[in-house]
Chains A and B, each alone.
Chain A
Amino acid sequence: MTTSGIGVKSQGARPRVHLEEEVMGTVVTFDIYDDAGVAPTLLAQHLEMARTSLHDADRVFSTWREASPINRLRRGELGLREMPTDVTDVLASCMVARSLSGGWFDPWSMPGGIDPTGYVKGWATQRALEILLRSGVRSAIVNAAGDIACAGDLGIGTPFRVGIVNPRSPRELACVVTLRGAIATSGVYERGPHLIDPHTRRAGTRVESASVTGPDLGLADALATALCVGGADVLERIEGIEGYEALTIGSDGTQAQTSSFPLAE
C-alpha cells in the first residue's frame, strides 16, 4: 500500500481510506484514493461531517420515519414554510428534474403524497462527497449502493471505472463505464417492481435498467428513475441535456444509449 498522498497506481489501486456507513436504508461507502496529503485529523473531521450529512438527510426525507419532516408535509401537518431549507432546496431541484424529464420524474404524482425519494439519495450522496472534498481530498468515490458520485481519478489521465450490473443476471456486468462525476442506475430487478409511472400512478417501467451519468448525482438519480419508467422518450430528452448521458437495457437485453455515453473500452 502506498503511503504517500500522490502517485496512486492505476492498476490494482486501492483506496487509502475506506469507510462504510449504514444509512438511508442501505450502505454508503466512502473510498478516498488520493488524499492530497490532508492531515488525518482534518480528514476524519470531514468524513464525520459527510457521514452526519447523510443521517441528516435520512432524518428529514425518510418516508419510513413517521415523524420525518417530509412525512409531516405529506400529511399536511406542516407547510412548506415550516420545512427545513433542505426540503425546499430539494423540491426546487425536483421541479427542474421533472421539467427536464418531461414529467417522467414527478414527486408530486406519487401515491401517498409528495415523494422526492428518487432524487434524495443521489442528492445526499453528492452532498456528502462535496463535504469530503472541502478537506482538500483530491480523489474520492462515495457510493450509495450503486448510485455513485466521484471526484478526481486514479491518477492523471486514468479515470475511475464503474460496472453496470446486468439486470438479467445481477452477478455479471452488462458493461463498464469510465466515470467522471456521477452515475445512477434505476431498475426493477432485485427488489421487484417499485417504480411508479407518474402518468398512470401505477407501477410500470419500459426498460429493465436505466443508467444516467452526469456532473450531479441528484439529477442523475432522478433522470435514471424517469428513464426506467419512460424509456425511449426520456433517452431522447437526456440527449439534449448538456453533460448528461444515458444507457438503457431492455428486457431482451437490448442496449440503447445517448451519443456520448462513456462506455469503457
Chain B
Amino acid sequence: MTGRRSSPFKTSRVLLAATSAGFVVVLSVHAVMPGRKAIAGFTTPPSTTPTSTPPSGATRSAIGASEQFGYGTISVKVTVQGTHITAVSVASFQPLESYSQQLTDYAVPYLTSEAMSAQSANIQGVSGASYSSAGFAQSLQSALGQLGL
C-alpha cells in the first residue's frame, strides 16, 4: 500500500524466458479491460469468441490458438477497440523441456553469477523491503519463478 500511486490501468506482466545469453525479457502490457489477465501454464487457455459484427468502437478481446514456436507453445491474447489494437499479451506459455534445459544451462549461471550469490540457487522467492515494481529483486524473483529456481 505504500509507495507509488497505482496506475489506473491494469498491467499484466508475463515473463518470457529468454535468449541463450540468459537474459530475461519482461513483457509489460497495458490492457484496457480491468479483470483480464494472463495466465501462464495452461496448455488450453479458455478462448474468447469474438462477437460478430460488433458496434464500432466496442472493446473486444480474443485468445489465439496455441502455436508452436522455437521455445515451446505460446498463445496470445489481443484486445481491440473497434479496429484499433489496444493490448497484446501472452495468455499462455509452455516451454519445451529441451528449452528448459537450455535455460538451466545458460540462464542460471548468468543469474547466479551476475546477480545473486551462489547460495541463492533453488529459491522460490526473495524477501526484502518494499520493492517498487520495477525493482531488481521483483524482476529477478519473477524470473527465477519462470526458470524454476
| Majority SS at the chain B contact face | loop
Spot the interface stretch: B32-40, B47-55, B61-69.
B32-40
Bitwise, B113-149 to A at CB < 8 A (1) or not (0) is: 0011101101111111111110111100110011111
A20 touching B12 by the CB < 8 A rule? yes
Question: In whole angstroms, how far apart are the Cα atoms of A179 and B130 in the complex?
Answer: 19
Chain A residues with CB below 8 A from B132, complex form: 26, 145, 190-191
In whole Å, how far is B82's beta carbon from the nearest beta carbon of chain A? 26
Taking each of A26, A186, A211, which has the highest tally of chain B beta carbons within 10 Å of its own beta carbon?
A26
Is A141 a contact of B127 with CB atoms below 8 Å? no
Q: How far is the CA of A32 from the CA of B39 in the complex (A)?
A: 11
Interface residue tally for chain B (C-beta within 8 Å) = 56
Compute how far the CA of A52 lies from the CA of B116 in the bound complex, rounded to whole angstroms: 33
Residues of B within 8 A of A15 (CB): 41, 145, 148
Indicate if B56 sits at the interface (CB-CB under 8 A): no
Q: Say how far A59's CB is from chain B's closest CB, in angstroms.
A: 10
Chain A contact patch, size range? 35 or more
Residues of chain B from 70 to 104 with CB closer than 8 A to chain A in the complex: 94-95, 97, 100, 104
**27 sample A-B contacts, Cβ–Cβ < 8 Å, listed by A number:** A1-B100, A13-B148, A14-B148, A15-B145, A19-B40, A22-B13, A24-B1, A26-B131, A27-B133, A29-B142, A44-B46, A61-B1, A64-B6, A65-B6, A145-B130, A146-B125, A160-B125, A162-B126, A162-B127, A163-B127, A167-B129, A170-B137, A173-B119, A176-B120, A184-B127, A189-B128, A194-B2
If A145-B131, A191-B3 are given as contacts, then 7 extra A-B residue pairs at C-beta distance below 8 Å, sorted by A number, are A15-B145, A17-B39, A29-B142, A117-B2, A145-B132, A171-B115, A173-B126
